[in-house]
Each structure stands twice: as structure tokens, then as C-alpha cells.
Amino acid sequence: MGHPVRRASRETAGAELPPGQRLQRGWPVTHYGPVPRFRPERWEFRVFGATADGGARIWNHEQFTALPYATVVADLHCVTKFSMLGAEWGGVPARTVLELAPPAPDVTHVMVWAEYGFSSNLRLADFAAEHTVFATHKDGELLTAEHGFPVRLVVPQLYAWKGPKWVRGIEYMTADRRGFWEERGYHNIGDPWKEQRFSYQEGPGDGPEL
Ligand SMILES: Nc1nc2c(c(=O)[nH]1)N[C@H]1C(S)=C(S)[C@@H](COP(=O)(O)O)O[C@H]1N2
Ligand SMILES: [Mo]
């Protein structure tokens, strides 16, 4: 600890690791529960909740993977204090989803839903950030099952639990609601640079009542 680590993210190059984090070599697999089996014929990505036109938007796997593709170099900070640096994620930018299936004007938050009911809530601004991406690839190759195939969200500026693996859709919300870990003691916002790890650290306005 203590020495500056050069981060590969373009937006933060030259910065140190977030406070309290240590560098992890390699790329371990971290999640709660089993790895889901991918069934292409049943898979769909659903945009629902407070959409602009009131209806849900559904893409099957073929349609989703045909959406415009972009890459992002990003670090991953696990709240359990290890960080992996400089992976190149490729996939569909969250901004593209916002453009193709827009939210109603009063939407403030997005719930990202994954297999087995895993979820994470994001402020619309974090979801709409330039580097937030629904990744299908890592370092030029299709994601492996353990790392979230076929689609995982990457939100580089937040702790990694804010990026569900095995995403199945998003829900536009007009008020904030806690996701899976946010209900279980983790911080509602989760900014690693502010070390927002746990819900007891939340200040007024950081999240809904627990
Ligand atoms: N669906 C799902 N996504 C998840 C999790 C989970 O438990 N379930 N854990 C998160 C946490 S805490 C971390 S650190 C990262 C780990 O991603 P990796 O296994 O690709 O390193 O996945 C995140 N996405
Ligand atoms: Mo994590």
C-alpha cells in the first residue's frame, strides 16, 4: 500500500488507487450465488418501468448484440478492498440504451436487474455516465460465464457491486429504491473515491430510509 499505482482508465490515468484499496493481480471471480446457465432462446433484455412512451422495450440476444458497440478501459474496485486495473470492456454503452429506449422526463434512478433477482440501483447520472457500458466482451474476447456472459454492466466510477453480471434488463424509476446489496448494508451510492462502502456511512439524501 501507499505507493501510487498508475491506473489505465483514460479518465483517471495517473491517479492512485481509491483509498483503502489494494492492487489485485489477475482477475478473480466474485459474486453471490451460482453462475446462471445461458439459454439464448429464453434470454431477453427488457427496458421497463417509467419509459418515455409508457411501454416496455425488449431485445432478444441477437438484437441486443447487434446494437452499436464501444470499448471502455476501466478499473474494477471491489468493496472487499481489492482492485483490478485496466481491463478493456466492449459492449453497448448505457447511453445508447437511454437513446434507443428513453426514460420518462421524471426518471431519477435506474434499477439494473440480473439473473436470480440480483439488482443494483444507480442514480440516472451514474447510469448515463460516459463510461458506463453493458459489456459483452473483456479484453477483446467474449465474456466468460463466471464474469457475466452474455452481458454485465460496468460502472467504472462506482464499486463493482454496482455492476451486475448476467444482466437481464433495467427499470426506470421516478424515486430511488435499494438494490440487492444496498438493502443488505452496502452504501446506496458506492463511490470508491469517497470510500462509500457501508449504509451506516450514508448522509442525508444519499439513499432511501433503511
Ligand atoms: N449478478 C451479480 N453480479 C455481480 C455480483 C453478484 O453477486 N451477482 N457481485 C458484484 C461484485 S461484489 C463484484 S466485485 C464484481 C466482480 O466481477 P468479476 O467476478 O468479473 O471480477 O461483480 C459484481 N456483479
Ligand atoms: Mo465486490
Asked, for residue 31, whether it belongs to a domain, the answer is no
CA distance 134 to 101: 14
Asked, for residue 192, whether it belongs to a domain, the answer is yes
* Strand bridging mode 44-49 / 57-60: antiparallel
Question: What atom of ligand 1 comes closest to residue 114's alpha carbon?
Answer: 1
Asked, for residue 28, whether it belongs to a domain, the answer is no
pLDDT score recorded for residue 16: 80
Neighbours of 105 (CB within 10 A): 8
CA distance 122 to 124: 6
pLDDT score recorded for residue 15: 60
3-state SS of 144-190?
A: CHHHCCCCEEECCCCCHHHCCCCEEEEEEECCCCCCCCHHHCECCCC
pLDDT tens digits, one per residue of 26-37:
999 999 999 999
Best residue for ligand 1 mutational test, from 22, 30, 119 (most atoms within 8 Å of Cβ) = 30
Q: CATH number of the domain that 45 lies in?
A: 3.90.420.10
CA distance 144 to 197: 27
Tally the C-alpha atoms within 13 A of residue 55's C-alpha that lie toward its C-beta.
4
Ligand 1, CB cutoff 6 Å, lining residues: 27-32, 78, 114, 118, 147, 160-161, 163-166
Contacts (Cβ under 8 Å, ≥6 apart) of 138: 87, 88, 89, 90, 147
User: Where do runs of H (alpha helix) occur along 19-166?
Assistant: 61-65, 94-100, 124-127
Asked, for residue 74, whether it belongs to a domain, the answer is yes
Domain residue limits at 172: 5-13+41-201
Q: Cα(41) to centroid of ligand 1, in Å?
A: 24
3-state class (DSSP) for residue 74:
strand
Phi, psi dihedral angles at 34 (to 5 degrees): -80, 165
Asked, for residue 25, whether it belongs to a domain, the answer is no
Asked, for residue 62, whether it belongs to a domain, the answer is yes
Burial of 54 (0-12, 13-18, 19+ CB in 10 A): exposed
> What is the tally of structural domains in the chain?
1
Closest C-alpha residue for ligand 1 atom 23: 161
From the CA of 162, which ligand is nearest?
1
Asked, for residue 22, whether it belongs to a domain, the answer is no
The per-residue pLDDT string of the chain (210 residues; one tens digit each, 9 = 90 and over) reads 333 333 444 444 446 899 999 999 999 999 999 999 999 999 999 999 999 999 999 999 999 999 999 999 999 999 999 999 999 999 999 999 999 999 999 999 999 999 999 999 999 999 999 999 999 999 999 999 999 999 999 999 999 999 999 999 999 999 999 999 999 999 999 999 999 999 999 999 999 998
Q: How far is CA 55 from CA 4, 52, 58, in A?
A: 48, 8, 10
Neighbours of ion ligand 2 (CB under 5 A): 30, 78, 160-161
Asked, for residue 83, whether it belongs to a domain, the answer is yes
Closest C-alpha residue for ligand 1 atom 24: 164
pLDDT score recorded for residue 5: 31
